[in-house]
Amino acid sequence: MSNLQSELKLFAEDAGHQLYLYKDADNDFSGVVGIEDGDGYVLVRHLQLAPALRNQETINTVLDELASIVGARRIMGSLETTPLIMRWEEHRREP
């Protein structure tokens, strides 16, 4: 619980950390992405989705939308989110 409180405090007080809410196709809030801004990159610290949407297709959609927000900055993952980012990057390279 203290770790969660520390993370929430970080996102609330540090401008370099931001939370984005994800809306699904029905326009319902169904996920959250926590990022940390870096020099030329964005680190995805957290990516949580509603249980019914926890699939690679939705993760790809969320990360595509994040990429459109952050522009030319590279999207990178934390230890927890790196596998998700790698699968998303593979998906983007497919013809």
Q: What distance in Å separates the CA atoms of residue 73 and residue 93, rounded to the nearest whole number?
A: 17
Q: What is the pTM of this model?
A: 0.87
| pLDDT range class, residue 88, cuts 50, 70, 90 | very high
Digit-coded pLDDT (tens) for 22-71 = 998 899 999 999 999 999 999 999 999 999 999 999 999 999 999 999 99
Which residues have a Cβ under 8 Å from the Cβ of 80 and sit 6 or more positions away? 45, 46
